[in-house]
Structure 1
Amino acid sequence: MPSSRVRLPVSFYARPALTVARELLGTHLVLEGEAGRRVGRIVETEAYVGAHDLACHASKGRTARTEVLFGPPGRAYVYLIYGMYHCFNVVTDVEGVASAVLVRAVEPVEGLPPALRTDGPGRLCRAMGLTLGHNRWDLQCAPLYLEEGSTVEEARVARGPRIGVDYAGEWAREPYRLWVRGSQHVSRPPARRGLESA
């Protein structure tokens, strides 16, 4: 069944990664295919703000893998970690600035069993059916896209350090991970008191 919600425009993505990471909370990630329509409400994101961000893949330079990060905005960046888990990102900011937002968790909305685990980027991609085959897809015209969802009030937004980027030194401590407080689908609670802020 076609959705009455509006697909997010290029202008939504053509902003700094931290802004997009915040605004993605509450929106819907959609994949339409032979298996039907799968929809998840985004409840957790991580911002990677450019080549100067040592946690960002682009920090090691412009390569065949990272080329998509340099724009244009509104493209999918999907990569494989540990040889088995896919991670889905959206490319942000203006063309030439290598930044993106990792979608870490969604709440099942349509086509996904309510009890299905969608916490963490690997589980999310497995549940949605996202693979390397979706890398570089234009979210404006592909059957993979993001659409308007429900607004998340600022009081319900938590922030803390990103996960799994200890190699990035001081950049690992930046509060660039955002999530919806109280969601049972968030991948990991704060490691200790004091890391969560409004």
Structure 2
Amino acid sequence: MGGAELSRAPLPRSFFDRPSHEVAPDLLGRVLVHGPVAVRLTEVEAYGGPGEDPAAHTYRGRTPRNAVMFGPPGHLYVYFTYGMHFCTNLVCLPEGSGSAVLLRAGEVLDGVDTARARRSSRGKPPPDRDLARGPARLAVALGLAREHNGLDAVLEGSPAGRPHESAAVLEGRPPAPGLVKAGPRTGISTAKEVPWRFWIDGDPTVSPYRAHVPRRRSAAATSVGEAPSS
């Protein structure tokens, strides 16, 4: 997988059993694997719990749509946005808490041909740096959609006990501390000043920062935040 310096050891569930703004910077450089595709995370955003973070899907409490965020840590929360895209998050804190980290961008390490095919438009794939550059692109490259909502991304116990289709977060290769940068979350209109977006400085796969632009129709934002009522 992309070089001997990358560790294949899976992260334990305890890694995710922390506040999302602590988990988020620690996710940089980790590797999310789903099927044949592996992506080294280079940009993420943290979202808090009910009543704490007005930009979070869980701000007003549990609904059928956000129920996975209230489940055990280390599971995938995959949601549909703008009527066309899926975005992927990793659930944090103990069960019942309602918090997660949005996976915004990464570098495809394994399964590049598969990711290219998934991301090709009219037979023309994008540059490799753009394969998972942005939350919707990352989900497409990894082949994650509605049916993967709630998928466990922690490898525990015997592999025989795992479902046929599974995901895993591996130790990967965390960046040097000086390369981890933090700033405002992108594309949201509330709590946009909260510096819970984290990225690896200088990495070409990091998506550009975009301030929120109001849309004419009601829709979920391209983050864990601002979902319409379920």
Category of TM-score, reference length = shorter chain: 0.7 to 0.9
**Which amino acid in the other structure matches residue 177 of structure 1?**
R
Contact in 1 for aligned 2:17/2:92 (Cα 8 Å):
yes
Q: Distance in 1 between matches of 2:40 and 2:150?
A: 22
Q: Distance in 2 between matches of 1:185 and 1:8?
A: 23
Deviation at 1:71, TM superposition (A): 2.2
Q: Distance in 2 between matches of 1:96 and 1:4?
A: 31
Contact in 1 for aligned 2:41/2:103 (Cα 8 Å):
yes
Query: Counterpart in 2 of 1:47?
Result: 46
1:59 aligns with 2:25: no
Q: How does 1:125-136 map to 2 (within 5 A)?
A: 125-136=139-150
Please provide the CA RMSD for this pair: 1.8
The unaligned stretches of length 5 or more in structure 1 are: 192-198
Q: Distance in 1 between matches of 2:15 and 2:148?
A: 20
**Higher Cα Rg: structure 1 or 2?**
2
Superimposed CA distance per residue, residues 77-130 of structure 1 (whole angstroms, 9 cap, x where no aligned partner): 000101111100000012221110000001111112572521110011111111
Contact in 2 for aligned 1:44/1:180 (Cα 8 Å):
yes
Cα separation, partners in 2 of 1:21 and 1:4, compared to 1, 3 Å: closer
Q: Distance in 1 between matches of 2:141 and 2:105?
A: 11
Deviation at 1:61, TM superposition (A): 1.9
Does 108-117 or 77-86 show the bigger shift? Answer: 108-117
Q: Distance in 2 between matches of 1:133 and 1:71?
A: 16
Q: Distance in 2 between matches of 1:14 and 1:31?
A: 21
Deviation at 1:153, TM superposition (A): 1.5
Task: Report the TM-score when normalising by structure 2.
Answer: 0.75
Detail structure 1 runs of 4+ shifted over 2 Å in the superposition: none
Does 109-118 or 42-51 show the bigger shift? Answer: 109-118
Query: Counterpart in 1 of 2:222?
Result: none
Deviation at 1:60, TM superposition (A): 2.3
1:86 aligns with 2:109: no
Where 1:26 maps in the other structure, the secondary structure is coil
Contact in 2 for aligned 1:75/1:90 (Cα 8 Å):
yes
**Which amino acid in the other structure matches residue 158 of structure 1?**
K
Task: Report the TM-score when normalising by structure 1.
Answer: 0.87
The unaligned stretches of length 5 or more in structure 2 are: 114-126, 155-161, 212-230
Where 2:208 maps in the other structure, the secondary structure is coil
Q: Which of these residues, 151, 159, 162, is aligned with residue 137 of structure 1? A: 151
1:16 aligns with 2:30: no
Q: How does 1:109-188 map to 2 (within 5 A)?
A: 109-113=109-113, 115=128, 116-140=130-154, 141=162, 143-166=166-189, 168=190, 171-188=191-208
Deviation at 1:189, TM superposition (A): 4.2
Superimposed CA distance per residue, residues 23-59 of structure 1 (whole angstroms, 9 cap, x where no aligned partner): 1000001011xxxx10110000000011120010001
Query: Counterpart in 2 of 1:103?
Result: 103
Count matched residues: 183
Q: Distance in 2 between matches of 1:153 and 1:93?
A: 25
Where 1:172 maps in the other structure, the secondary structure is coil
**Which amino acid in the other structure matches residue 78 of structure 1?**
V
Deviation at 1:163, TM superposition (A): 1.1
Q: Distance in 2 between matches of 1:25 and 1:4?
A: 14
Q: Distance in 1 between matches of 2:170 and 2:54?
A: 30
Contact in 2 for aligned 1:40/1:109 (Cα 8 Å):
yes
